[in-house]
Amino acid sequence: MNVINFQDANCAHCYKCLRNCDVKAIRIKQGQAQIVTDMCIYCGHCMEICPQEAKTFDSDLAYVKSLLYKKERVVVSLDPSYRGLLDYEDSGQIVDALLKLGFSQVRETAEGAAIITREYVRLMKEGKMDNIIVTSCPAIVYLVEKHYPMLIPYLAPVVSPMIAHGRWIKDRMGQHTKVVFIGPCVAKKMEAEADSRTRGCVDAVIEFNELQKWLEEEGIDLKHCESRPFANQDPMVNQLYPITNGIIRAVDVCGAPGTYKKLTVSSIKSCREFLHSMKRGYIDHCFVELNLCAGGCVNGPGVDKRRGFRFKATMSIENNALLAAPPAYITLPKEELERTYVPRQVVDKMPTEAEIKEILKTIGKSNSTTEFNCGACGYMTCREKAIAIYQGKAEAAMCLIRSYENARSQANVVMETTPNLIFIFDKEMRIREFNRRAEDVFHTSRQDALRMYLFELIDTKDFEEVYHTHENKLRVKQKWEQYNMTVLETIVYIPSSDRVLAIIEDVSAEEKQAERMLEQKLNTVKLAQAVVEKQMTTAQEIAGLLGETTAETKAILTKLRDTLLES
Ligand code: SF4
Ligand code: SF4
Ligand code: SF4
């Protein structure tokens, strides 16, 4: 199962997703971005940043609506990050809105967190683990399992609050009860629906963004809803889970011993840095809380970032959570709390040094000076990119510099070999491009021309006219007396750059040929005229002797002369 969909047609080959995927779980195939599921940690970041919206969340909304339509018993497990992320005046208004949509009960996932906090405290008290990594973030679990499997022994062997909550709701209300988690991210959906270890505890996952749209469609304005109580007791300090340091504060309030150093780390970059450090053995006896999103779940991918609500959410959570341990009113049997982890790292085959060099050569990087390491393709270095090509994750055509050079060299061939003069100038008549043929005609090198104004070389009347009127001139014949040339001027305004392109066809040779032909013709006609006149004089003399008219002969000879003129 996949929770992120790709729409090939929308992908604009910008590689932004690849550049921003910290674990490089994106492969480009035939120009299209695809997720490498073996490496993906479902952080949802690529969905957030894709300018084309080519990747979309595989929504459960239709399924949830169908459950409600069939009047099934559907209970909401509401992630505590709702505070501040949804636009309400009183949190009870969310309960009212969700009940209006048809849900049977609305409970806070923080109830599940209360059970998990007790488990974390137990692990600390037992003191059997060298380090304890705690998190309610499935993306962190996937990050460790897929990219740092050697650190699995440090993952607290405890399910997440969402899973604990789903299990508890079903245990209490019957397995037929459907549980819908409403929260901030795609990773939770993966954990709920695609992970065989936890599948079935939660039946569907909806993101806050989706809920917001749904409420709008139904015409439900949170601010106009009544305030109704949640079905659960106050989970108190466990409400802090979605913000950084939330778990640590919860365990402290709930009786954690002081035997472990405590640390909180958030954001994928910092988490990876921390895990590297742990891998090297620099971290010892540490209880560390990791969150993949900077600042915690209040900054998850399913949250509308444009509204900048995460700080409001953080403050709201801080202000509302009672810093006290709730009564142990819910529990789960030990086996329902346990979690196992499996190493799932995929190790790609590495190319040899010679193979890397060979691939680099095919993308035009024959030596280190041509390895620009620009990162535009999504890989930090040309070498990394060559390795990715070897592993079937990247394509040679992704090198933008190479594509640009190819395009430029093709354009250069045209500029260098065309018999036409080509130049581009700007609104000040400053020359911006100047080809080889123009160099020949104007006896000016390109280098010099690019420092000159067009009027230094030629009368610019036609060119200025096109710039000012934006009316192009197509193959207009002109005499360039100064250069002893006849030309066909094609002058085109380029709106995107506010410049003018001139393509000048030198037709001097054709023109001279035509002039020569005309001259020959006129000479022939002159000759014919002389012949006609001479013949007419002779004919008139003979006709005078014979007493006949020469009119017919004159008509024939005149026609012959006119035909010569016309041809
Ligand atoms: S971000 Fe990725 S999926 Fe989106 S358009 Fe760019 S390359 Fe395609
Ligand atoms: S969801 Fe995250 S890990 Fe997966 S491809 Fe997108 S950015 Fe990479
Ligand atoms: S930190 Fe929270 S919102 Fe972000 S990926 Fe993890 S679980 Fe999802």
445: domain CATH number? 3.30.450.20
Ligand nearest to the CA of 81: 3
Q: What is the mean pLDDT of residues 124-131?
A: 98
Residues 85 and 165 in one domain: yes
Strands 421-425 and 499-506: antiparallel
Strands 485-494 and 473-480: antiparallel
Residues 501 and 364 in one domain: no
pLDDT of residue 193: 86
pLDDT of residue 550: 64
Percent of the chain with pLDDT over 90: 64
Task: Confirm whether 436 is domain-assigned.
Answer: yes
pLDDT of residue 527: 78
pLDDT of residue 567: 56
**Among protein residues, the one whose CA lies closest to atom 3 of ligand 2:** 40
Q: Using a 6 Å cutoff on CB, does residue 25 contact ligand 2? A: yes
**Among protein residues, the one whose CA lies closest to atom 2 of ligand 3:** 297
Q: pLDDT tens-digit profile of 199-240?
A: 999 999 999 989 999 999 999 999 999 999 999 999 999 999
Residues 68 and 129 in one domain: yes
Residues 42 and 83 in one domain: no
- CA dist., res. 154 & res. 148, Å (int): 11
For residue 555, the enclosing domain spans: 520-566
Q: What is the mean pLDDT of residues 118-123?
A: 97
| Domain termination residue (choose one: 27, 43, 58) | 58
Residues 260 and 276 in one domain: yes
Residues 323 and 222 in one domain: yes
pLDDT of residue 560: 59
Q: What is the mean pLDDT of residues 342-350?
A: 92
**Among protein residues, the one whose CA lies closest to atom 6 of ligand 3:** 137
Task: Confirm whether 344 is domain-assigned.
Answer: no
Q: What is the mean pLDDT of residues 344-357?
A: 93
The number of folded domains in the chain is 5
Q: What is the mean pLDDT of residues 505-524?
A: 85
Task: Confirm whether 512 is domain-assigned.
Answer: no
**Among protein residues, the one whose CA lies closest to atom 4 of ligand 2:** 40
Task: Confirm whether 74 is domain-assigned.
Answer: yes
| Domain termination residue (choose one: 37, 58, 79) | 58
Backbone region of residue 500 per phi and psi (left: phi > 0; alpha: psi in -120 to 50; beta: other values): beta
- CA dist., res. 33 & res. 9, Å (int): 11
Distance (angstroms) between ligand 2 centre and the Cα of 46 equals 5
Per-residue DSSP letter, 435: -
Residues 323 and 378 in one domain: no
pLDDT of residue 551: 72
Q: Using a 6 Å cutoff on CB, does residue 236 contact ligand 3? A: no
- In this structure, of 393-397, 435-439, 544-548, the range with the lowest mean pLDDT score is 544-548
pLDDT band per the 50, 70, 90 thresholds, residue 71:
very high
Distance (angstroms) between ligand 2 centre and the Cα of 35 equals 7
| Closest ligand 2 atom to Cα of 22 | 8
**Widest pairwise Cα distance in the chain:** 149
Q: pLDDT tens-digit profile of 275-299?
A: 999 999 999 999 999 999 999 999 9
Q: Using a 6 Å cutoff on CB, does residue 44 contact ligand 2? A: yes
| Domain termination residue (choose one: 309, 327, 345) | 327
Residues 148 and 250 in one domain: yes
Q: Using a 6 Å cutoff on CB, does residue 84 contact ligand 2? A: no
pLDDT of residue 557: 62
pLDDT of residue 251: 98
Residues 184 and 315 in one domain: yes
Percent of the chain with pLDDT over 70: 94
Residues 65 and 201 in one domain: yes
Residues 71 and 182 in one domain: yes
Q: What is the mean pLDDT of residues 455-470?
A: 94
**Among protein residues, the one whose CA lies closest to atom 8 of ligand 2:** 21
Task: Confirm whether 548 is domain-assigned.
Answer: yes
Mean pLDDT (the chain) is 89
Q: Using a 6 Å cutoff on CB, does residue 46 contact ligand 2? A: yes
Q: pLDDT tens-digit profile of 14-54?
A: 888 998 999 999 999 888 888 999 999 999 999 888 888 77
pLDDT of residue 566: 59
Distances (CA, A) of 128 to 132, 248, 396: 10, 19, 50
Q: Using a 6 Å cutoff on CB, does residue 291 contact ligand 3? A: yes
Distance (angstroms) between ligand 2 centre and the Cα of 33 equals 11
pLDDT of residue 244: 95
CA dihedral for 179, 185, 188, 189, sign (positive or negative)? positive
Q: Which of 209, 292, 303 to mutate to test the pocket of ligand 3 (most atoms within 8 A of CB)?
A: 292
Residues 169 and 195 in one domain: yes
pLDDT of residue 448: 93
Ligand nearest to the CA of 17: 1
Ligand nearest to the CA of 16: 1
Q: Which of 18, 27, 42 to mutate to test the pocket of ligand 2 (most atoms within 8 A of CB)?
A: 42
Task: Confirm whether 423 is domain-assigned.
Answer: yes
